[in-house]
Chain A
Amino acid sequence: MDSFITILQLFDSTIRLSAPLLLACLAGLYSERAGIFDIGLEGKMLAGAFAAGAVATWYGSAGLGLLAAIAVSVAFGLVHGFASITHRGNQIVSGVAINFIAAGTTVILGQAWFHQGGRTPSLPNTARFNAINLPGAEALRDVPIIGPIYFELISGHSILVYLAFLLVPFTWWVLYRTRFGLRLRAVGENPAAVDTAGISVPWLRYRAVICCGILCGVAGAYLATAQGAGFVKDMTAGKGYIALAALIFAKWRPVQAMYACLLFGFLDALGIRLQGQTLPLIGEVPVQLMQALPYILTIVLLAGFIGKAIPPKAGGVAYVKER
């Protein structure tokens, strides 16, 4: 029974750790499916987390923090769009720039406004997204097997976690069952065809970049006001890049993106769990190996050992209207 609970707790933290990855990964999916590569997921998430932390501190409301996070993240997304859609700049360069601007600005403003070495003050529970106990969780708790699963695993997450996982079927529906989704995929594969059909390529791509900004903002707000209690310097710590790796791992598909994020979240949870413990036969697993595993797995995938990852055909290429 004890090991059962331990495993449940491991899965529970897997869900909590994969939620921000999933949000960022879906964000990247909207953008990259439309042909705009986005290295800047990390920076947008970080800026969003800072905005959420700062606004939640000032107004004591997690909801306002979330809105601020979305606004800031979308603004950064629009900068990326302005550079890579309007001015046809290099999308990678622009994304890198956004990451640096976000990394520097959050610390400088954080230090100037809150004087705590770049972090925002610790938030009280009233200014955070708290765990939601689903109906009947307490009552079912003692039912064997199902009870603990429901209580530990499914119930007791913040609303943003549920939002993240609900966004998976929603994104699938948008992408494959709506006109917008069809056009979005088309503009990432063959923008000339979309243009011929009389649809504005830039406007479509701008909308994709805005979608990406919204989701990155939610991911940032999750980090600062749900998982943590306030913004901490460099709190994304490479999650944006792991999300990018997950996106490649999922071959730019929403449901597979969820699996990839769960896998990477599980590795993270397992790494935390195994820290300093010795396993039978293997001995102590270096925590660094667990941290590097998502990247190593992605490299192995890219090397062609686990299928082949083919990015959207027009990805990274600015569209030049014929004239």
Chain B
Amino acid sequence: MSQPFAKLPAWADYGLLPLINLIVAFFVAGLVVLLVGESPIEAAVLMVKGAFGTGDGVGYTLYYATNFIFTGLCVAVAFHCGLFNIGGEGQAYIGGLGVAFVGLGLGDTLPWWIVFPLAIVASGIAGALWALIPAWLQARRGSHVVITTIMFNFIAASIMVYIVVQILKPMNIQSPETRVFGAGGQLPSLGWLLNAVGLNMRSAPLNLSFLIALVAAFLVWVLIWRTKLGYEIRTMGFSPKAARYAGISELRIIIITMMISGALAGMMALNPIMGAQHRLQLDFVAGAGFVGIAVALMGRSHPVGIVLAAILFGMLYQGGAEIAFDMPNISRDMIVIIQGLVILFAGALEHMFRPTLQRIFHGLSLKKDQTVPVIAGGGQ
């Protein structure tokens, strides 16, 4: 490791390296498909067709992507502060409670354009509060936020089962869910958007919260790269020592960051609850909080990357459901494997190909120009 490495150009660092990691992850996933006796290439074709071939496929793909944009942003904001928020799942769950209270309480009387902003605020606050205790424990007691957010996921699941089954569920319904919200608690569909590009979405649940997700992505970009708070968050993530030396309050930054992160996860609940089911169903999060980890790692914690990665995972979700019709051996659990592999190769093993790549680029730059400045030391 003693040889000097050239610094990777930005396009290689943010484009090529993640692409290589992604290709390796999908290659290994392809091996699993082979193992169950199906053709990986056929599966990939079916998947892309299922996700983008029809209007409702696109609608579903973007509907799932909406969830993942929110949870991906949630994980990414925490990443920028050097925190690993695994609790997106639980924060989204509790966020659903906020949506349900607004939807049940005001959905019958007020129009959606008044209910919706209130629901956004309620879901955000609920999610943020659920992230508050882990944040405080991390900042004050040094308890690892990973451990506490995992615990809070389980506690959230227990609380939600109790609240939905014992309190919110009407007597005449068997399944664990609330009653259907009034008209004001239902978001307008985005069918017109797809119609504009000549697609018929039919019954796909793509709704207004997709646009809210895009706005959230833009606001996160502004926050992280264009505000003083964002600068402080990144400083804390890059070097807590430097941040402390600069007089940045660790307690304040950790708590604010985690609450923003939790709020983003909480807002994810808008999409399935107000946008699609129009009621709070148990299990509405369905692992989206965890997909957010893969999305954030793949998108390298940048909002643009996250939106792209979220659409990719939306495609996997939708396409995966379609594959199951033709290849009964491949169910949606295949996505869980891909998700795990993406987390492994784009996250834990992200440095595996870097030295090789650096060596190649170093060789190229030497050939081109002998005077190119070289970063000595190498490695990470």
| Least Cβ–Cβ distance between A211 and chain B, in angstroms | 20
B143 lies within 8 A of A323 (CB) = no
Decide if A248 is an interface residue (CB 8 Å cutoff).
yes
A112 lies within 8 A of B329 (CB) = yes
A100 lies within 8 A of B337 (CB) = yes
Decide if B180 is an interface residue (CB 8 Å cutoff).
no
Distance in angstroms between the alpha carbons of A109 and B337 in the assembled complex:
11
A83 lies within 8 A of B340 (CB) = no
Decide if A105 is an interface residue (CB 8 Å cutoff).
yes
**Looking at chain B, what size class is its interface with the partner chain?**
35 or more
| A91 and chain B: residue at smallest CB distance | B348
**Looking at chain A, what size class is its interface with the partner chain?**
35 or more
Interface residues as binary, A69-83 with B (CB distance below 8 Å gives 1, 0 otherwise): 000000000010011
Which interface residue of A94, A101, A309 has the most chain B CB atoms within 10 A?
Answer: A101
Decide if B46 is an interface residue (CB 8 Å cutoff).
no
Query: With a CB–CB cut-off of 8 A, which chain B residues contact A289?
Result: 158, 162
B37 lies within 8 A of A39 (CB) = no
A39 lies within 8 A of B150 (CB) = yes
Decide if A299 is an interface residue (CB 8 Å cutoff).
yes
Decide if B32 is an interface residue (CB 8 Å cutoff).
yes
Query: With a CB–CB cut-off of 8 A, which chain A residues contact B60?
Result: none
Decide if A244 is an interface residue (CB 8 Å cutoff).
yes
Asked if A309 meets B343 with Cβ closer than 8 Å, knowing A97-B348, A241-B154, the reply is: no
| B335 and chain A: residue at smallest CB distance | A104
| B86 and chain A: residue at smallest CB distance | A96
B347 lies within 8 A of A302 (CB) = no
| B145 and chain A: residue at smallest CB distance | A92
Distance in angstroms between the alpha carbons of A109 and B154 in the assembled complex:
27
| A292 and chain B: residue at smallest CB distance | B158
Decide if A311 is an interface residue (CB 8 Å cutoff).
yes
| Least Cβ–Cβ distance between B166 and chain A, in angstroms | 7
Decide if B63 is an interface residue (CB 8 Å cutoff).
no
Decide if B277 is an interface residue (CB 8 Å cutoff).
no
| A82 and chain B: residue at smallest CB distance | B349
Asked if A39 meets B146 with Cβ closer than 8 Å, knowing A93-B297, A100-B340, the reply is: yes
| A302 and chain B: residue at smallest CB distance | B143
Of B32, B36, B339, which contacts A100 at CB under 8 A? B339
Decide if A108 is an interface residue (CB 8 Å cutoff).
yes
Decide if A126 is an interface residue (CB 8 Å cutoff).
no
A245 lies within 8 A of B146 (CB) = no
Query: With a CB–CB cut-off of 8 A, which chain A residues contact B337?
Result: 100-101, 104-105, 108
Decide if B239 is an interface residue (CB 8 Å cutoff).
no
| B138 and chain A: residue at smallest CB distance | A302
| B344 and chain A: residue at smallest CB distance | A97
Of B143, B147, B334, which contacts A108 at CB under 8 A? B334
Distance in angstroms between the alpha carbons of A299 and B162 in the assembled complex:
20
| Least Cβ–Cβ distance between B353 and chain A, in angstroms | 10
| Least Cβ–Cβ distance between A77 and chain B, in angstroms | 14
B151 lies within 8 A of A295 (CB) = yes
B348 lies within 8 A of A108 (CB) = no
Query: With a CB–CB cut-off of 8 A, which chain B residues contact A18?
Result: none
A311 lies within 8 A of B349 (CB) = no
B151 lies within 8 A of A299 (CB) = yes
| A105 and chain B: residue at smallest CB distance | B337
Decide if B172 is an interface residue (CB 8 Å cutoff).
no
| Least Cβ–Cβ distance between B358 and chain A, in angstroms | 14
List A273-296 residues whose CB lies under 8 Å from chain B.
286, 288-289, 291-292, 295-296
A292 lies within 8 A of B155 (CB) = yes
Interface residues as binary, B134-157 with A (CB distance below 8 Å gives 1, 0 otherwise): 000100010110111011101100
A89 lies within 8 A of B348 (CB) = yes
Decide if A298 is an interface residue (CB 8 Å cutoff).
yes
Asked if A92 meets B166 with Cβ closer than 8 Å, knowing A104-B335, A108-B329, the reply is: no
List A205-248 residues whose CB lies under 8 Å from chain B.
238, 241, 244-245, 248
Query: With a CB–CB cut-off of 8 A, which chain A residues contact B380?
Result: 88
B348 lies within 8 A of A83 (CB) = yes
B162 lies within 8 A of A286 (CB) = yes
Query: With a CB–CB cut-off of 8 A, which chain B residues contact A130?
Result: none
Which interface residue of B141, B330, B343, B352 has the most chain A CB atoms within 10 A?
Answer: B343
| A103 and chain B: residue at smallest CB distance | B336
Asked if A295 meets B351 with Cβ closer than 8 Å, knowing A88-B380, A97-B343, the reply is: no
A83 lies within 8 A of B154 (CB) = no
B147 lies within 8 A of A244 (CB) = yes
| B350 and chain A: residue at smallest CB distance | A89
| B134 and chain A: residue at smallest CB distance | A299
Decide if B293 is an interface residue (CB 8 Å cutoff).
yes
B158 lies within 8 A of A104 (CB) = no
Query: With a CB–CB cut-off of 8 A, which chain A residues contact B339?
Result: 100, 104
Query: With a CB–CB cut-off of 8 A, which chain A residues contact B341?
Result: 97, 101
B166 lies within 8 A of A100 (CB) = no
Distance in angstroms between the alpha carbons of A292 and B153 in the assembled complex:
10
5 smallest beta-carbon distances between A and B, as pairs: A100-B340, A104-B336, A104-B337, A94-B348, A101-B340
Instruction: Provide 12 A-B residue pairs closer than 8 Å at the C-beta atoms, listed in order of the A residue.
Output: A87-B348, A94-B347, A100-B290, A101-B341, A103-B336, A108-B337, A238-B154, A286-B166, A295-B155, A302-B141, A302-B148, A303-B141
With A101-B341, A311-B144 given, name 7 new contacts (CB 8 A): A89-B349, A100-B337, A108-B333, A118-B333, A244-B150, A295-B155, A304-B141
